[in-house]
Amino acid sequence: MSRLGNIGARLYRGEVGYDFVGKRMIWYGISVLITITAIVGLGVRGLNMGIEFSGGAVFTTPKTAVSEAKAREQAEEASGHPAIVQKLGNGTLRIQISDVDTEKSDQIRQELAKDFGMQAKDINAELVGPSWGEQIANKAWLGLGIFMALVVVYLAIAFEWRMAVAALIALIHDLTITVGVYALVGFEVTPGTVIGLLTILGYSLYDTVVVFDGLKEASKDITKQTRWTYSEIANRSLNSTLVRSINTTVVALLPVAGLLFIGGGFLGAGMLNDISLSLFVGLAAGAYSSIFIATPLVADLKEREPQMKALAKRVRAKRAAASAKGESEGGTDGARGADPEDARDEATAAGALGRQSAGPATAEPGRARGRGRTPGQHR
């Protein structure tokens, strides 16, 4: 087995832990870089708004042998505007042209009928006003605002306000990246895109709430022990739910990837792209933010509390004393093993972590001491 495969297998079995919280500045930097790229793409290229938002005309032809490329060329020549052409399953063509009024629509239909060799009356033309798209956008923004407010209130009541703030920042992070990707790739933004954006918010919160629930349980009575700081407890909680997060994300991404790459790409069903891209990018960004953004942010906010600062100071002092004692007695492990306070602290924290997850990370109590420990920590 390759080294990467061996690491993955050990991670799945819960035999190793990674210092996600301790290396949070790296993850913050990566997120800032991705977010800036998304914002720049949005500002430079802008969004390719669909006809539902910009207004225009939609032409549907009878069954024809004209290719999409040829139809797009003729439609753009007839209208003077960019055209979006889709080949439907029954052999008909759907042509969208923005910024077209009634008079211009009739003229374009006549030109298309002539180019395609069919009667103008056989081409169905529908006009879409921009006011309808504006209503959809306004309702979407209203729904997003209500959703955000409810999430913050719920998390503040169920957990605490710091977790609510971290979850809100993670949601904004995911939305910004998804919208930026749409600007960079130039996919059309339709009502389906809006539905996809609203849908990914729930997926983004799922892993975050799971980790927060475990962290809340593990950090009970945290100030009564001097073995771990809040950040280290947060990292242990994150590692205990890591495999679950990976599994649920992969399972959710597979069918969405099928829609995007096979349905929209290989099979040419372009109408699937608008919703599948938002779901794919949003799910991936949500998994990233729940692991690398939300929990480290909570740890940052909690470590600012006077109680947590005092706890961190006591933990460092105890480790320094234990290290000095171990060196003087010639056996650090023996000194630690003989400390009844260490055993009590470890039993308390291990018991809390054991209650939050029944996964592989807590399956064998005898190995729990090594699994949850952040690399570089002293016991």
Residue 373 burial (C-beta neighbours within 10 Å; 0-12, 13-18, 19+): buried
Domains of the chain are 3-49+143-302 (1.20.1640.10), 56-128 (3.30.70.3400)
Contact call for residues 297 and 116 (beta carbons, < 8 A): no
Provide the angle, in degrees to the nearest 10, between the axes of the packed helices 273-289 and 191-218: 20
How remote is the C-alpha of 22 from its chain's centroid?
21
Q: What is the pLDDT of residue 364?
A: 39
Q: What is the pLDDT of residue 368?
A: 41
User: Which residues 6+ apart lie within 8 Å of 174 measured at CB?
Assistant: 200, 201, 204, 282, 285, 286, 289
Structure tokens at 181: 């990707």
User: Which residues 6+ apart lie within 8 Å of 100 measured at CB?
Assistant: 56, 57, 79, 81, 108, 127
Helices and strands, number each (H, E), in the chain: 16, 6
Q: Where are the beta strands (DSSP E) in the chain?
A: 48-49, 56-60, 83-87, 93-98, 124-128, 188-189
Tell me the DSSP string of 299-325. HHHHTTSHHHHHHHHHHHHHHHHHHHH
Q: What is the pLDDT of residue 73?
A: 87
Report how far residue 324's alpha carbon sits from residue 318's, in angstroms, rounded to the nearest whole number: 10
3-state secondary structure of 128: strand
Q: What is the pLDDT of residue 31?
A: 92
Q: What end-to-end distance do the CA atoms of the chain give, in Å?
A: 32
Report how far residue 174's alpha carbon sits from residue 288's, in angstroms, rounded to the nearest whole number: 9
Phi, psi of 81 (to 5 degrees): -130, 155
3-state secondary structure of 85: strand
Residue 190: count other Cβ atoms within 10 Å of its Cβ: 22
Q: What is the pLDDT of residue 336?
A: 45
Report how far residue 320's alpha carbon sits from residue 378's, in angstroms, rounded to the nearest whole number: 10
Q: What angle do CA 271, 272, 274 make, to 5 degrees?
A: 80
Blockwise average pLDDT, block size 10, the chain, 379 residues? 57 68 91 92 84 80 84 84 76 81 82 84 79 74 85 89 91 90 83 81 82 86 86 87 82 84 62 78 88 91 90 88 76 46 50 45 39 43
**Dihedral through CA 78, CA 80, CA 82, CA 86, nearest 10?**
-10
